[in-house]
Amino acid sequence: MCKRALQATAAAVVFVLSAPFATARTLCTLMADADSGQLLVQQGPACSERVTPASTFKLAISLMGYDAGVLKDAAEPALPYQAGYPDWAGDAWRRDITPTTWMRDSVFWYSQQVVKRLGQERFAHYVKAFEYGNADVSAVPVDEPGQNGVWVMGSLRISAEEQLAFMRKIVRRQLPVSAHAYDMTAGISNYGTEVNGWTVHGKTGTGSPGSDHRYDANHAYGWYVGWATRGARRLAFVRLIQDAQALKPNAGLRARQELLGLLPTTDQ
């Protein structure tokens, strides 16, 4: 499919999918050939604006954790929930969590425990080496993460353009981590079912503006970032939306639904 036709299809899909969510606006959608960098879809007025990465940062934490040996495989370490851990997602978080369920259920406290085991110096080194957004991890020390990490509503910020560059580095294995880290991160971030013949890997994220450690559902950001493969072809993608009122499902899940609808149906 040619670039012009794909963009027209993307616009039509976004229109249809966003109709029930009229109070959410598209800040940026990017889809590119992961190898050449050629943009196939480019929409939205805020592709260079840095905002919280929210739970999309779990992809970066996964790469760090597996590279450093803090994470072992898809099932280990299985960490138990403890009283006082964040539990705003309910019973799904109040149980033993493995790397697979951490990524699938977006368990915030598991992220806290991984970065705590990495330690502040090593954590900061990874973020800088990844060239991840503004690379500012100063807001919340990892040994006292409290209720929020720097990737939620703290100091760390990243733009959609930077997210796309990071996804391309994952696909092309251009980050300073081991092959095991890439393999395991791809495994636990697999969407689970093919979409138009594409094998999809990615992570949602729902966050909000500000650094006061308060979630503002009326202005929530919704991310979906990742990559897709079909045969020899590899795509990287990013979608960022923002709500103008509290909506369900959360903004990250809606961003994923909309992005998956943009994956091309042919290789032309």
- 166 CB burial (10 A radius; 0-12, 13-18, 19+): buried
Residue 208 is among the residues annotated as catalytic for this protein:
no
Determine contact, residues 224/259, Cβ cutoff 8 Å. Answer: yes
Determine contact, residues 168/34, Cβ cutoff 8 Å. Answer: yes
State how far the Cα of 225 lies from the Cα of 233, in Å rounded to an integer: 17
State how far the Cα of 121 lies from the Cα of 135, in Å rounded to an integer: 13
Determine contact, residues 259/233, Cβ cutoff 8 Å. Answer: no
CA 42 to chain CA mean position, Å: 18
- From 262, 211, 265, select the one nearest 15 (Cα to Cα): 262
| C-alpha radius of gyration, the chain, whole number | 18
- From 209, 203, 205, 198, select the one nearest 264 (Cα to Cα): 198
Catalytic residue among 18, 36, 48, 55: 55
Q: Beta-carbon neighbour count of residue 11 at 10 Å?
A: 14
- By annotation, the residues acting in catalysis are 55
